[in-house]
Structure 1
Amino acid sequence: MILVTGATGTTGSEVVKQLLDMGEKVRAMSRRDTAIHGVEVVKADFDDPESLGRAVDGVTAVYLVTAPAKPIVDHDVALVEAAKTAGVQRIVKLSAISGDEPGSWHLRSEQPTRDSGLGWTILRPGTFASNMMRYAPMIKAGIPLQNWTKGGAVGVIDPRDIAAVAVRALTTDEHSGREYVLTGPELMTFTQQVAVLELVLGTRIATEEGSIDAAREAMLNHGMHPDSADEAVAGMTRLAEGKYAVLTEHVAQILGRAPIDFTTWANDHRAAFR
């Protein structure tokens, strides 16, 4: 049995799908009453140790995704402790490319998994291709998109590739004790991603440069905790400065094929922008 936290999220839903396609037994953890075809769903909360115990009971591996409102590591600690008590064998922790930044929440949230004494794998993906989905309403309405990261480039990755790597790590021992920086096949700026969408959709998409301060203010206006906004702004600043402009071969080495490029992702999801 494999437990998937964040099972209805961007990568978690794809991890569930790919595990089911392999014939694996899957349990999904959710804070709400949720139905997922072919999957046992357990209602649990990171702040409720008893519910976490039920979630990991009889589980051999966990796909761990945490996203607390405030950047704390309590949720990771709680899940890891429950997993150790239940005899879980391995944890695959979703982090981010900013996980190598000293003091960052992503680096701190990795540590409980590393210190667990269990088999562990850390995944540090670059920017998700699916992050562009947040702009779909603006594109449909013809509203200019704010470019917060200027000319900063990153190895944009399809979430399906992140999930595929996670599935390999969840179902074998080959990747225990390893951390992987996961990227797509090419470095792309925000402007280049928009240009691909323009070609795929056959429409002009206006952009304008936005300031980091304005980005933080927008996050706060949407209810984000100030500490979380600061973490997000720090990551955006590093991206704008070119500090995430790296490509790795990890996806190709693990999956035995090239990573999915952004054009393919855009074509596969064009309906969401129309």
Structure 2
Amino acid sequence: MILVTGATGTVGTQVVRILAQRGESVRAMTRSPERASLPAEVVRGDFNDSGSLNAAVAGVDAVFLLDAPGPWIERHDLAMLDAVRAHGVGKVVKLSAIGTGEDTDSRVGGWHLPGEDVLRAGVAAWTILRPSSFATNTLAWVPMIRAGQPVANMTGNGAQGVIDPRDVAEVAVAALTAPGHERRTYTLTGPELLSAPDQVAALGTVLGQTIEVVDVPLDVARQQMLAAGRDPEFVDVAMRGQRLIAEGGNARLTDDVASVLGRPARTYAAWAEEHRADFG
């Protein structure tokens, strides 16, 4: 039995579906099981409720540990790893973030490092996945594109190894179900470095239209996020991350997807083509 946390999110949903398609026994954890429609045993689990975590973990052989980005990740990771240890779970695959452990305060990876450290020190076999920016992040541009407005850009011409979340999910499934991935840390990127204007251009080609880009100063973006009610610590880290990208600090590519899956990582252009209807 494999427990998938964050089972209704971008990567978690894909992991559940791929595991189910391969005939694995899957338990999907969500705070609102009544609203989930997944090919799995769906259970309630709340990272802030240790009783629910113990119930979710009971009887499982492996855990895919995923949580939404935010300053709560350390607390949530440690709570789940306590349950993992208490129930003797044999394997944990953790979704972390690119750059975790590096000497910078500009990355969300700082939220993931404590969980990574505890995982490495434990007795369970572990694999850590550190993906770069998700292609699905650009779905935030849908309202602008549909309204004929320019896409807001906070990262200038800073490029990243944008990755299709399905590739992340497939690597996670491989680590959960196949040998040879224990005590490995994979940095997962797409096959090419792309800036926000590069991605906008790819979308324009797919949609057959010209999409403009407008640069948004980080101080303006920060005030907009705070006005929308976002957590101030989350906003501060997000703005430092945007600055890091703009300065070229996340311009890196790896072959880890290909080494695990035996094929190249999917391109952003291919992802955009498959999601044409979302933007059109």
The bucket for the TM-score relative to the shorter chain is over 0.9
Alpha-carbon distance change, 224 to 112 in structure 1, aligned in 2, over 3 angstroms = farther
8 A Cα contact 1:130 1:158, kept in partner:
yes
Pair 1:192 & 2:201 matched = no
The equivalent position to 2:131 in structure 1, one of 106, 125, 136, is 125
3-state DSSP of counterpart to 1:205 = coil
* 1:138 and 2:139 matched: no
1:204 to 175, 197, 210: 210
* Aligned position for 1:24: 24
How far apart are the structure 1 equivalents of 2:43 and 2:235? 31
> Equivalents in 2 of 1:84, 1:138: separation in Å?
46
In structure 1, what is the Cα distance between the partners aligned to 2:93 and 2:42? Answer: 19
2:56 aligned partner, one-letter code: A
Q: Give the TM-score normalised by the residue count of structure 2.
A: 0.94
1:68 Cα deviation from its structure 2 partner: 6.2
Cα distance in 2, alignment partners of residues 51 and 189 from structure 1: 41
Give the conservation status (yes or no) of the 8 Å contact 2:2–2:60.
Answer: yes
Alignment of 1:142-153 (within 5 A): 142-153=148-159
Partner in structure 1 of residue 122 of structure 2? 116
Query: C-alpha deviations, 1:32-67, integer Å up to 9, x for none?
Result: 123334210111100111100110011111111122
User: Taking every aligned residue pair, what percent have the same amino acid on both sides?
Assistant: 49
Q: Could you tell me whether the CA contact under 8 Å between 1:34 and 1:41 is conserved in 2?
A: no
Q: Supply the distance in 1 between the matched residues of 2:72 and 2:225 (Cα, whole angstroms).
A: 14
3-state SS of 2:127 partner: strand
Q: 2:61 is aligned with what amino acid?
A: T
Q: Structure 1 residues 200, 68: CA separation in 2 closer, same or farther (over 3 Å shift)?
A: closer
| Higher mean C-alpha displacement, 247-256 vs 83-92 | 83-92
Distance 2:199 2:225 in 1: 22
Partner residue of 2:86?
85
Deviations 1:189-213 (A, max 9, x none): 0000000000000112121111112
Segments of structure 2 that go 5 or more residues without pairing to the other structure are: none
Deviations 1:123-169 (A, max 9, x none): 11111011111111111011211110001101010000000000000
Does structure 2 retain, via aligned residues, the 8 Å contact 1:90–1:119? yes
**Contact kept? 2:6, 2:68, Cα under 8 Å:** no
Q: Distance in 2 between matches of 1:37 and 1:64?
A: 17
CA distance in 1, matches of 2:224, 2:66: 25
Residues 69 and 224 in structure 1, CA contact (< 8 A), matched pair in contact too: no
How far apart in 2 are the matches of 1:267 and 1:128?
A: 15
C-alpha change, 1:113 and 1:258, in structure 2 (3 Å) is same
Q: Structure 1 stretches of 5 or more lacking a match?
A: none
Deviation digits for residues 212-250 of structure 1 (CA, Å, limit 9, x no counterpart)? 122222221222111111111121111111111111010
User: What is the TM-score normalised by the length of structure 1?
Assistant: 0.96
- The residue number in structure 1 matching 2:65 is 64
Distance 1:194 1:118 in 2: 42
